[in-house]
Amino acid sequence: MKCHPHLLAYLFRQTQPVTLLGALALALYALLDWRVLDNHHAIPALVLLAQSIALSRRLAWRQKGEAAFLYTSGFSRDTLWLHRILVTLLSGAISVALAGLIVWLGLRSALQSNAGNHLFPLMSLRENTAPLHWLAIFLLLTPLTHYAWARWEAHAAAAGYLLTIAVALTIWFCSEVLTTCELSALALAICLLLAWTGMHLHRNMEVVE
Model pLDDT for residues 87-103, shown as the tens digit of each residue? 999 999 999 999 999 99
What DSSP element (H or E) covers 62? none
Mean pLDDT of 120-125: 82
CB atoms within 10 A of CB 29: 19
Alpha carbon distance 182, 197 (integer Å)? 23
Alpha carbon distance 50, 24 (integer Å)? 13
With cut-offs at 50, 70 and 90, classify the pLDDT of residue 146: confident
- Biggest alpha carbon distance in the chain? 61
| 163 part of a folded domain | yes
| 190 part of a folded domain | yes
User: In this predicted structure, what is the pLDDT of residue 4?
Assistant: 81
Going by C-alpha positions, the residue among 109, 102, 112, 128 that lies closest to residue 38 is: 128
Alpha carbon distance 192, 194 (integer Å)? 6
User: In this predicted structure, what is the pLDDT of residue 207?
Assistant: 43
| 79 part of a folded domain | yes
User: In this predicted structure, what is the pLDDT of residue 175?
Assistant: 62
* Cβ neighbourhood burial of 202 (10 Å; 0-12, 13-18, 19+): buried
Going by C-alpha positions, the residue among 85, 9, 6 that lies closest to residue 52 is: 85
Give the tens place of pLDDT for each residue, 14-70: 899 999 999 999 999 999 988 888 877 889 988 998 998 899 888 875 445 565 566
Q: Work out the angle between the directed axes of helices 42-58 and 5-32 (0-180°, nearest 10).
A: 160
Give the tens place of pLDDT for each residue, 182-207: 766 777 777 776 666 666 665 555 44
User: In this predicted structure, what is the pLDDT of residue 208?
Assistant: 41
Alpha carbon distance 62, 208 (integer Å)? 6
| 68 part of a folded domain | yes
| 208 part of a folded domain | no
**Residue 205: DSSP 8-state:** S
Mean pLDDT of 155-169: 64
* Percent of the chain's residues with pLDDT above 70: 67
Give the count of domains, the chain: 1
Residue 118 has pLDDT above 70, yes or no: yes
Question: Is 55 within 8 Å of 143 (Cβ atoms)?
Answer: no
Based on its alpha-carbon atoms, the radius of gyration of the chain, rounded to whole angstroms, reads 19
User: In this predicted structure, what is the pLDDT of residue 73?
Assistant: 66
Domain membership of residue 181 as a residue range: 5-203
| 209 part of a folded domain | no
| 183 part of a folded domain | yes
